[in-house]
Amino acid sequence: MKSKKEGRIFERARKAAEQTLRDPEKIRNVIDTALHMAGSASTSSPFHELTDKFQALIRLVRAYINRQYRIVPWQTITLAVAALIYFVNPLDAIADFLPLVGFFDDAAVLTAVLASINHDLTAFLEWEKSVDQNPAEPMPRVIDADFEEVKVEKTIDNG
């Protein structure tokens, strides 16, 4: 369960997410920072599943920003960006410079966000897999590409 301090800090991150989503340069910076931090995570750690889901969350946000995947509620994108902001913020509820404790704080918030958007993230992963299986319409593996390298091949929009 989140502490009151975590709740207040995450609420600030959510409000910052709404502002960040309106500024292409800011959202790119958040995504790039999150990618860098996620890339340094060990794939053999006990948090492998959480790391995989975090990377999927980053890909979801990037695909949404690049207009590749738009079949997702705005609230889901806002929560996803808020989680990214919270994760990259070195001064969250428990500072990340406290070796293990700061990471558990981030993991707790990320786990809560992932649980609340699980349905939408699962739908995105299914869409991503279907695009990957169709060689006529390849989707770039955005987790492995720089933001500027991602090219929009196909746009899916829900409206």
Residues 82-106: pLDDT tens digits? 999 888 876 544 444 445 555 666 7
For residue 108, the enclosing domain spans 4-149
Q: Is 141 inside any structural domain?
A: yes
Mean model confidence pLDDT for the chain: 77
Distance CA 110, CA 116 (A): 10
Q: What is the pLDDT of residue 105?
A: 66
156 found inside a domain: no
Asked if residue 157 belongs to a domain, the reply is no
154 in a structural domain: no
Percent of the chain with pLDDT over 90: 38
78 domain residue, yes or no:
yes
Distance CA 1, CA 37 (A): 25
Measure the CA–CA gap between 146 and 153, rounded to whole angstroms: 16
